[in-house]
Amino acid sequence: MGMTEADALAQDVAMLYQNNHRWLSAWLRAKMGNKADAEDLAQDTFIRVLCAHTSTQMALREPRAYLATVAGRLLANFYRRQSIERTYLEVLANMPQSEIPSLETQALMKEALLEIDQMLDGLGHKVKQAFVMAQFEELPYAEIAERLGVSLRSVKNYVARAMVHCSAMLP
């Protein structure tokens, strides 16, 4: 009975894990300074590799470069999530006690913020800023242009580009 493609893939990923897990964990720990988070991201990296069937063959040619790339993306997402959560907590801390939403609403709002951030991933910084200012702060385009130091036409283009990008992300 021969080995199926799925068996071969699982065996390749297992070997990749055995040969590189310790190295990847140490690499992430050096970047993060936190062993538990580094271990979590290392595991997430290998799960991502296992799920990416088409990329696995490339990974086996240059395993550490591939793992560092995948882990680096996960690390950037980790820090971005932390930044969003920190900013949200700062906003809550500055709200009057009577206006602070319930814990359930806070969790839903935080999840929505993370989803919006993920949806806007891949857009330039000014495009994201213009979109957020227009949609969530409800600022007029002229004020956005002034704050970003760009033309009114640029703001219109940024918001339109973000809208098209978000529309393409919706199911």
Domains of the chain: 1-102 (no CATH), 120-171 (1.10.10.10)
Confidence of residue 106 (pLDDT cuts 50, 70, 90): confident
List, for residues 34-47, the tens digit of each pLDDT value.
899 999 999 988 88
CA–CA gap between residue 154 and residue 126 (Å, rounded): 10
pTM above 0.85, yes or no: no
Q: Contact at 8 Å (CB) between 56 and 12? A: yes
List, for residues 2-28, the tens digit of each pLDDT value.
667 767 767 777 888 899 999 999 999
**If you average pLDDT over every residue of the chain, what do you get?**
84
Q: Contact at 8 Å (CB) between 25 and 38? A: yes
List, for residues 49-78, the tens digit of each pLDDT value.
877 755 545 446 778 888 899 899 889 888
